[in-house]
Amino acid sequence: MGPAPPAGDGVNATSLTVPLPGALQRLWLTMSTTLRAAIEMWTYNIGERLGQAWGRAAPQPRASLKGKVCIVTGAESGIGFATSHQLARMGAHVIIASRNTTRSMAAVEAISKSLQSSDVAASAAGDPAALPLGHAEFMELDLSSLKSVRSFAKKFNARGLPLHLLICNAGIMAPPARQASSDGLELQFQVNFLSHWLLTNMLLAEQRKAKRHTKTGQAEGSDDGDGHVAATLLQGGSRVVMLSSVLHRGGQLQYGDMQSERAYSPFASYAFSKLLNNVTAVELQRRINRNPIPGRSDSVVAVHPGIADTELSGGFFKSQGILWLWFLSLLLPLYNGLLAATKDVTLRTTNSAANTVLFASLAPSELVAGAYVVPDAAVTRHHRAAYDEDTAKQMWDYAAELTGLQIDPSLS
């Protein structure tokens, strides 16, 4: 693999050869997408919070993942941490892939302490239904650097471990001003989409090349010997989960300026990066299906976990307040106060959001392969823009050109 060319070279001709929305359609896409997000916050999330207050919280996913290897990017906090914690509680070997060593090691320690506490409590109670507990470790991964992504993938592949689950969770959300990665690409495009695309291709190609299988050889949904139903996705294949957003529907706005070089819109650039994750789920599943490998059942899913109370969403709402209310300085404190007062009602908890991610991770492949999962454990269709094969092919070629990756024949 050679170095990535600078933005603007090769197939990066600033836009794709796809029909771009006109002015009225752009306005409609922006308004309708924003409205969807607002409705979700003020109806679904409030309903969920009230249900929790009345003791009707959704049950935690439960499956034995003993011996399963899971990578979760950006898992040092937020939804990624909550997801990793639950995976480890179900017995998985969880790799927290992040660039922040201090916070990631703290996350590993927090998970370890929680598991020790759970183990002691279950042993003391003599609980026969207690799941075998797993563990977490940290591996450094900086998604703003393609060099770091390649290094991570090579190190993991060299360990000879099977990969049962890859959750592409890390992301950044709508910084007020355009930022460039160390590779010269728009930061949201690279962190949210391109680096995950490269990571997924490098890891999945190695797994498919090795044709690894689970040692148990059990049929899907069989008992794992500990009295629990094994997660169906983890029998003889890898599951890739791409974190998306309700805002992916507005991603078409950015097709004409993929690196935001002519103009930068925090909303459109973020939505575009998330749309590309939906495109990845559909297109990669297509490629897997046309290159079947006996004994493997690989699958790719996109998931919108919900609008949750995380650093990501908090930073977004605050930055939007600064962006729109800078000329009304007296209103900004009121806006920030309103956010603080309402977030416990209008935003999901990270554990609730993680439940949706876990459903996307553990559901049978015939139910979710190539699909789009939304709160709460609902399987639906992507926005129609995610299904266009010509656009997907152009994006694949574009991503391969930027990363210097030769597509593995098993994923061609």
Q: What is the token pair recorded at 57?
A: 């919280």
End-to-end CA distance of the chain: 17
Q: Is residue 14 part of a domain?
A: no
CATH assignment at residue 277: 3.40.50.720
Q: What is the token pair recorded at 405?
A: 């990756």
> How do residues 70-108 score in pLDDT, each as one tens digit?
999 999 999 999 999 999 999 999 999 999 999 999 999
Q: Is residue 76 part of a domain?
A: yes
Q: Is residue 300 part of a domain?
A: yes
Q: Are 201 and 161 in contact (CB under 8 A)?
A: no
Please give the pLDDT value at position 9.
37
Q: What is the token pair recorded at 219?
A: 């049929």
| Number of domains composing the chain | 1
* 223 preceded by a cis bond (ω within 30 of 0): no
Please give the pLDDT value at position 348.
76
Strand order in the sheet with 69-73: 135-140, 93-98, 69-73, 165-168, 239-243, 299-303, 372-374, 378-380
Helix (H, G, I), strand (E, B) or coil at 407: coil
Q: Are 80 and 169 in contact (CB under 8 A)?
A: yes
Q: Is residue 47 part of a domain?
A: yes
Q: Is residue 318 part of a domain?
A: no
What is the pLDDT averaged over residues 292-321?
73
Phi-psi region of 172 (alpha: psi -120 to 50; beta: other; left: phi over 0): beta
Q: CB 344: neighbour CB atoms within 10 A?
A: 10
Q: What count of Cα atoms within 13 Å lies in the side-chain half-sphere of residue 113?
A: 6
Q: Are 58 and 78 in contact (CB under 8 A)?
A: no
The Cα 252–Cα 268 span in angstroms is 8
Instruction: Please indicate whether residue 235 or residue 227 has the higher confidence score (pLDDT).
Output: 235
Instruction: Please indicate whether residue 57 or residue 287 has the higher confidence score (pLDDT).
Output: 287
Helix (H, G, I), strand (E, B) or coil at 29: helix
The Cα 103–Cα 72 span in angstroms is 14
DSSP string, 220-275: TT-B-SSSSBBPGGGSSS-EEEEE--GGGGGGGGGTT-TT--S---HHHHHHHHHH
- The b-or-e profile of 204-240 (16+ CB within 10 A means b, else e) is bbbbbeeebebeeebebeeebeeebebbbbbbbbbbb
Q: What is the token pair recorded at 104?
A: 């990631």
Q: Is residue 262 part of a domain?
A: yes
Instruction: Please indicate whether residue 155 or residue 50 has the higher confidence score (pLDDT).
Output: 155
Instruction: Please indicate whether residue 124 or residue 272 has the higher confidence score (pLDDT).
Output: 272
Strands 299-303 and 372-374: parallel
pLDDT confidence bin for 235, thresholds 50/70/90 = low
Q: Is residue 317 part of a domain?
A: no
Q: Are 375 and 348 in contact (CB under 8 A)?
A: yes
pTM (predicted TM-score): 0.80
Strand spans (E) along 52-178: 69-73, 93-98, 135-140, 165-168
Q: Are 216 and 164 in contact (CB under 8 A)?
A: no
Query: By C-alpha distance, which of 277, 281, 294, 297 is closest to 366?
Result: 297
Which of 77-81, 203-207, 344-348, 390-394 is the least confident region? 344-348
Which of 126-140, 198-212, 335-349, 355-369 is the least confident region? 335-349
Q: Which domain holds residue 174?
A: 23-309+347-411
Instruction: Please indicate whether residue 342 or residue 226 has the higher confidence score (pLDDT).
Output: 342
Judged against a pLDDT cut of 60, whether residue 192 lies above it is answered with yes
Instruction: Look up tokens 């559909």; give the residue.
Output: 282
Mean pLDDT, all residues of the chain: 80
Task: Read off the amino acid at residue 260.
Answer: S
Instruction: Please indicate whether residue 272 or residue 126 has the higher confidence score (pLDDT).
Output: 272
Please give the pLDDT value at position 99.
97
Please give the pLDDT value at position 349.
82
Please give the pLDDT value at position 359.
94
What is the pLDDT averaged over residues 235-246?
91
Q: Is residue 173 part of a domain?
A: yes
The Cα 181–Cα 403 span in angstroms is 13
> How do residues 249-297 score in pLDDT, each as one tens digit?
877 777 888 999 988 888 889 989 999 999 999 999 999 999 999 989 9
